[in-house]
Amino acid sequence: MRSRTSLYMALRIVLGLFLILYALNRFFHFLPSTYGTMPELTQDFLDSVAVYLPALYIFEIIIGLFLVFNKWTPFILIVLAPLSVAFLIFSIANGEFAKAWPAFVVGFINLVLVIRWWGLYRPLFK
């Protein structure tokens, strides 16, 4: 039981740190990253929402901090779920699956942690 709890704690911290680093990288560009070559429709979408992206990245930093410090974790995981799905959709729509691994990692860890807290979410689905 102890090792299982440690695994969930490690996943929570990794997810939080990943979100923080990803968002900070969008501001400070300290890690090489690119969206790659995008289909025109995807580029149009990104251009249309570009004004909102700094707010999204700040939100990701806040979510990451809550996860790292284990505050409101079940709530934060539910808040993160739509962001994870959007991240996956954008990465898949981009068409380069080799560069979509961060979206799959975030989605997978978020799903595992939601399943871990499923007992708390059960009343929401009655």
pLDDT, tens only, 27-39: 999 988 766 677 7
pTM, two decimals, is: 0.89
Could you read off the pLDDT of 98-124 as tens digits, one per residue? 788 889 999 999 999 999 999 999 998
SS (H, E, C) the chain: CHHHHHHHHHHHHHHHHHHHHHHHHHHHCCCCCCCCCCCHHHHHHHHHHHHHHHHHHHHHHHHHHHHHCCCCHHHHHHHHHHHHHHHHHHHHHHCCHHHCHHHHHHHHHHHHHHHHCHHHHHHHHC
What is the pLDDT at residue 74? 96
At residue 119, the pLDDT reads 95
Q: Which two tokens stand for residue 58?
A: 């700040």
Look over the chain and give the mean of its residue pLDDT values, rounded to a whole number.
90
